[in-house]
Amino acid sequence: MNQPLDSIATVLEGTGDYRVLRRLTPLVDCAEAPDEPTFIGLVLDTETTGTDFATDEVIELGILKFEYGASGRIYRVLQTFNQLHQPQKPIPPEITRLTGITDAAVAGQRIDDAAVQALAADAAVVIAHNASFDRQMCEGRWPVFAEKNWACSCHQIPWRAEGHEGMKLGYLLIDHGFFHNGHRAIDDCHALLRLLDSPLQTSGRLALSCLLETARRPTVRLWAQGSPIETKDLLKARRYRWSGARRCWYIDLEEDQIEIERSFLSEAIYRRPCGELPADRFTARDRFSARTNPEF
């Protein structure tokens, strides 16, 4: 933004009667050299022909490779990657309306698989705003992603506790005073990296630091095996989900919540001691992966 317009925006904001959104620009590299151990991270986003992991395809892959410190501070962007891919079937009209990606735009295009493998090889973590979707869309085609630690910036940062009403990328960006060209892979990557580099509204912690701390903690999937059918509404209200593959309700929890949940199940669901219910333990290496998807 040029100086006169920026000054006008500042005056408007200063009245308290206006909020001004600024167009998002790519994160500027930190001028200071790191004074802490640093690591390599990836921010990743996909645009796809749909949401069916078995039949839909990635039509655009965006990645920002960046250097970050143990504190969660982001120092610099190392590489920008964005490529289109022509799917086997025409792009559905609703996807074109959402993303602006047309059959003509992807004609003859193919994502360079070898380049993706090389780009991700030394990454300590892969971050997506909906990791359960992006990871499953990626790891079948690019095996390198199946062996990486993943983190979900949507669900592993306590946005609501930090004062945000919504968790969608566009909503969070607006809360930070920006707007961007949403639903294009690399633009969403730039938006997410800016959010990760920002202090959280309530705690003041860097968003990336909070995300990494959460992602490092193991989680446990507790199965309400044999729960009476008449308790399904209670389980749904408690945020249990149904696994069609295992015909069972389940919930994902932090390890320190397990005993609390067992007590709830004993008192409200089984109405007796529930014993040792089945439980699976996950880390960032397998969390959000197709191999841990209870529907498969």
Pair (196, 63) in one structural domain: yes
Pair (242, 202) in one structural domain: no
Pair (39, 177) in one structural domain: yes
Helices and strands, counts by H and E, the chain: 10, 11
Domain end marker among 216, 250, 279: 216
Residue 196: the pLDDT is 98
Pair (250, 211) in one structural domain: no
Question: Buried b / exposed e across 204-226, counting CB within 10 Å, b at 16+?
Answer: eebbbbbbbebbeeebbbbbbbe
Domain end marker among 216, 234, 249: 216
Pair (186, 242) in one structural domain: no
Distant-in-sequence, close-in-space partners of 159: CB < 8 Å, separation ≥ 6: 166, 167, 172
Distant-in-sequence, close-in-space partners of 42: CB < 8 Å, separation ≥ 6: 63, 64, 65, 66, 119, 120, 123, 125, 126, 127
User: Any idea what the CATH number is for the domain that residue 137 is in?
Assistant: 3.30.420.10
Dist CA 152 CA 141 (whole Å): 20
- When pLDDT is cut at 50, 70 and 90, the band that residue 257 belongs to is very high
Residue 6: the pLDDT is 87
Pair (240, 180) in one structural domain: no
Dist CA 197 CA 212 (whole Å): 12
Structure token pair of residue 234: 């209670």
Query: Would you say 139 and 146 are in contact if contact means Cβ atoms under 8 Å apart?
Result: yes
Dist CA 153 CA 128 (whole Å): 6
- When pLDDT is cut at 50, 70 and 90, the band that residue 296 belongs to is low
Query: Would you say 140 and 113 are in contact if contact means Cβ atoms under 8 Å apart?
Result: no
Number of domains comprising the chain: 2
Q: Residue 204: is its pLDDT beyond 90?
A: yes
Domain that holds residue 79: 12-216
Across the chain, mean pLDDT equals 95
Q: How many residues does the chain have?
A: 296
Pair (195, 273) in one structural domain: no
Domain end marker among 216, 243, 270: 216
**Overall average pLDDT of the 167-191 stretch:** 94
| Residue 190 within any structural domain of the chain | yes
| Residue 269 within any structural domain of the chain | yes
Pair (21, 119) in one structural domain: yes
Pair (129, 32) in one structural domain: yes
Max distance between CA atoms of the chain, in angstroms, equals 70
Pair (228, 158) in one structural domain: no
Residue 14: the pLDDT is 94
| Residue 294 within any structural domain of the chain | no
Pair (188, 90) in one structural domain: yes
The DSSP string of 9-41 is: HHHHHHTTS----EE--PPPPPSSPP-S-EEEE
| Residue 200 within any structural domain of the chain | yes
The whole-model pTM stands at: 0.92
Residue 293: the pLDDT is 81
Tokens 């990791």 belong to which residue?
Answer: 131
Dist CA 31 CA 65 (whole Å): 18
Distant-in-sequence, close-in-space partners of 257: CB < 8 Å, separation ≥ 6: none
Pair (229, 97) in one structural domain: no
| Residue 167 within any structural domain of the chain | yes
| Residue 151 within any structural domain of the chain | yes
| Residue 267 within any structural domain of the chain | yes
- pLDDT, one tens digit per residue, over 46-78 is 999 999 999 999 999 999 999 999 999 999 999
Short-list 187, 294, 202, CA closest to 248? 294
Short-list 198, 192, 165, CA closest to 180? 192
Dist CA 248 CA 87 (whole Å): 35
| Residue 23 within any structural domain of the chain | yes
Residue 63: the pLDDT is 98
Dist CA 179 CA 185 (whole Å): 15
